[in-house]
């Protein structure tokens, strides 16, 4: 599956809001009731989360997520590197638990030492 095919698959979900979409980036909001439909699509592309929810991020995770504003304990980060490009998906739950913001990015992301 390519990054573009991943975006097409995610667009089939019942999205509440499409925030941004351009080459190498896709951001949307999905309601909490549909979040379980999201994980199988992401795991088909990324495998298991690089940083699952409920786990404090370690230095390796922080270095990957730094260019995206970091990642917190309750957030999820998927990450793979292919052909010199980083591919990430970040799931940020809203404080009220009713929705999550999902951000996908692909690019020459610098991994900070």
Q: Given pLDDT bands bounded at 50, 70 and 90, which one contains residue 100? A: very high
Cα–chain center distance at 104: 5
Q: Given pLDDT bands bounded at 50, 70 and 90, which one contains residue 111? A: low
* 55-79 average pLDDT score: 88
Q: How far apart (Å, rounded) are the C-alpha atoms in residues 67 and 95?
A: 22
3-state secondary structure 34-56: HHHHHHHHHHHHHCCCCECCCCC
Give the model's pLDDT for residue 66: 80
The pTM (predicted TM-score) of the whole model is 0.88
How many other CB atoms sit within 10 Å of the CB of residue 14? Answer: 9
Give the model's pLDDT for residue 109: 54
Give the model's pLDDT for residue 19: 94
10-54 pLDDT per residue, tens: 999 999 999 999 988 999 999 988 888 999 999 999 999 999 999
68-89 pLDDT per residue, tens: 778 899 999 999 988 878 899 9
Q: How far apart (Å, rounded) are the C-alpha atoms in residues 52 and 73?
A: 8
């Amino acid at each position: 599956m390519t990054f573009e095919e991943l975006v097409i698959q995610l667009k089939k979900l019942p999205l509440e809001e499409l925030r941004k979409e351009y080459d190498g980036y896709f951001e949307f909001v999905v309601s909490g009731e549909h979040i379980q439909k999201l994980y199988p699509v992401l795991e088909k592309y990324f495998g298991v989360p690089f940083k699952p929810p409920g786990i404090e991020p370690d230095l390796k995770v922080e270095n990957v997520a730094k260019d995206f504003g970091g990642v917190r304990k309750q957030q999820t980060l998927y990450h793979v590197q292919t052909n010199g490009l980083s591919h990430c998906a970040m799931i940020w739950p809203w404080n009220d638990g009713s929705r999550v913001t999902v951000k996908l990015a692909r690019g020459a992301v610098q991994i900070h030492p």
